[in-house]
Amino acid sequence: MNENFTKLKTLIAEVADLNAAQAILGWDQQTYMPPGGAEARGHQLATLGSLTHQKFTSEEIGKLLDELKREFADADPDSDEARYIKVAAKDYDQATKVPSEYVARFAQLTARAHESWAKAREASDFSIFQADLEEIVEIRKEYVSFFPPADHPYDTLLDEFEPGMKTAEVQEIFGTMRVKQVELLKAIADAKQVDDSFMHVNYPEKQQWDFGVEVATKFGYDWNRGRQDKSVHPFTTSFGINDVRITTRFMEDFFPSALFGTMHEAGHGLYEMGVNQEYERTPLNGGASLGLHESQSRMYENLVGRSMPFWEHFYPRLQETFPTQLGNVDLPNFYKGINKVEPSLIRVEADEATYNMHIMLRLELEIAMIEGSVAVKDLPELWNTKFEEYLGITPPNDAEGVLQDIHWSFGGLGYFSTYALGNLVSVQLWEKINEDISDLDEQIRQGKFDTLLSWLRDNVHTHGRKYEPQELVQKVTGSKITPEPYLRYLESKYSDIYGL
């Protein structure tokens, strides 16, 4: 191998190790760390973050990248080597614009903010989190200031999570979706409503856990390379291709929370586990973007997990697990119940038809905060007003309103639109998968998911970060990210369920 390339790979592998160490500390903070450890954990993450940033932005790595760009100028642009250099150079260019001192401050602030958010959510009192969120908004604006002016300041934040995507593009996509989804929701509201009372009875946690593990195992989640734990907010984290961990949360009077949460996170986990093993400790490891990542989690949660073929296989097992709760509920009514459309307070438990409305609401507030037209102190009232406007209901408290999601506490402004983009990509991929696997429904009906996973491994997972998201979606489906397939899917599915 080229000598300069070997040197670069060695240095960047060490950076990857430091990033993994930070991820372990972050995972522990959200699963097992006692609340009193927040201040010390903030210092630890700040130190590691600063060291990692200094190491990656070193002059030595910059010189090696410059030399390698020249040496590989005529190489196949799709070769792993050329893509490695391209991705590493982009990461380096972005990182060198941000001071190490900023990285340390950000890590310390968000470690503290996670704990204040958790306390605020438990107490349903936004004021506990307000000061930290005000700092987070300011520090994210500071981050934007390190980069050349974009068409919109939010573009810089969005690019961090969905490379290449612009605020105007997302707003245009959401504008198209909003009109169609509002029409669908109105039609559903006028139809005969679905009974889902069977979901709102007691389901013991242990049985929920065991059933979720059974499903994730069938999907192909490798427990030799992963594990599941409990957390306040479900998430997936990766310390390497062979150590990918998921979490879930339980509501004993609403079993879909944990089950569909486990399916969702398993989808993320399968993506991380499926990256080409040769990309371990390189810039090519990980998902192409959070939108692509969400396409995998939403696919397993909804397109697979809320489908009739899936439950034709799994429903007898679920009835065996919960005979008192579900013994008298037949499959057609169960299927309708888990797909019931009803405006709800919590995004992660929202049905498919209303889910994107949650995303649009939060995106609107995030953009306004970055523009400076909305003050953090006004968020609870604004949240409730917009929630009534978007979904027709008003949150009764902060915990079920503005405090419901963890993302702002870790500084994730710019993140949220990727959830909706993931929905769109999931259906674009699903249409292509069904073209290539003509008996997919029958395989799922038989509880066989290996062909589906192999297709995703070959077409999506293995590439890691080798391609940018729009490039990968175009490569696999023949089209860039577009809302039309998703809107077709929603109309077809819910017309059938509600007799529209």
251 found inside a domain: yes
Please tell me the distance from the alpha carbon of residue 221 to that of residue 211, in angstroms, as a whole number.
Answer: 14
Q: Which of 149, 182, 202 is the endpoint of a domain?
A: 149
What's the structural domain count of the chain? Answer: 2
The owner of tokens 């430091």 is: 18
Asked if residue 171 and residue 136 are part of one domain, the reply reads no
Is 160 inside any structural domain? no
Indicate if 57 and 204 belong to the same structural domain: no
| Token pair in block for residue 490 | 């929603």
**3-state class of 424 per DSSP?**
helix
Judge whether 404 lies within some domain.
yes
- SS3 assignment, position 322: coil
- 200 in any annotated domain: yes
Q: How many CA atoms lie within 13 A of 373 on its CB side?
A: 6
Examine the fold and report which residue of 149, 182, 200 is the final residue of a domain before the chain moves on.
149
Q: Are residues 117 and 213 in the same domain?
A: no
Structure tokens at 430: 């699903």
Tell me, yes or no, whether 429 and 312 share the same domain: yes
Q: Is residue 161 part of a domain?
A: no
> What pLDDT does 1 receive?
67
Do 136 and 183 have their domain in common?
A: no
Active site residue 265: yes
> Domain span at residue 276?
167-498
Give the per-residue pLDDT at 124. 97
Inside any domain, residue 123: yes
Domain boundary residue among 97, 123, 149? 149
Tell me if 341 is assigned to some domain: yes
182 shares a domain with 144: no
Residues 227 and 325 in one domain: yes
Per the CB < 8 A criterion, the answer to whether 264 and 300 are in contact is: yes
Q: Based on the fold, state whether residues 12 and 55 are members of the same structural domain.
A: yes
Q: How many CA atoms lie within 13 A of 374 on its CB side?
A: 19
Residues 181, 74 within the same domain? no
Same-domain pairing of 88 and 224: no
pLDDT at res. 233: 82
Determine, yes or no, domain membership for 476.
yes
pTM for the model: 0.91
Which of the residues 115, 265, 301, 352 is marked catalytic? 265
CATH code for the domain of 318: 1.10.1370.30
Q: Looking at beta carbons, which pairs linking 494-498 to residues 24 or more positions away fall under 8 Å? A: 494/184, 494/188, 494/339, 494/341, 494/353, 497/194, 497/335, 497/336, 497/339, 498/187, 498/188, 498/191, 498/192, 498/194, 498/341
Beginning with the edge strand found earlier in the chain, give each strand of the sheet holding 243-248 in spatial order. 226-230, 243-248, 236-240
Q: Are 120 and 263 in the same domain?
A: no
**Digits of tens for pLDDT over the chain (500 positions)?**
689 999 999 999 999 999 999 999 999 999 999 989 988 998 999 999 999 999 999 999 999 999 999 999 999 999 999 999 999 999 999 999 999 899 999 989 998 999 999 999 999 999 999 999 999 999 999 999 999 999 999 999 999 999 989 999 999 999 989 889 989 999 999 999 999 999 999 999 999 999 999 999 999 999 999 999 999 889 999 999 999 999 999 998 998 999 999 999 999 999 999 999 999 999 999 999 999 999 999 999 999 999 999 999 999 999 999 999 999 999 999 999 999 999 999 888 889 999 999 999 999 999 999 999 999 999 999 999 999 998 989 999 999 999 999 899 999 999 889 999 999 999 999 999 999 999 999 999 999 999 999 999 999 999 999 999 999 999 999 999 999 999 999 999 999 999 98
How far apart are alpha carbons 4 and 8 in whole angstroms? 6
Region of residue 47 (left: phi > 0; alpha: psi -120 to 50; beta: else): alpha
Tell me, yes or no, whether 207 and 81 share the same domain: no
**The residue type at 92:** Y
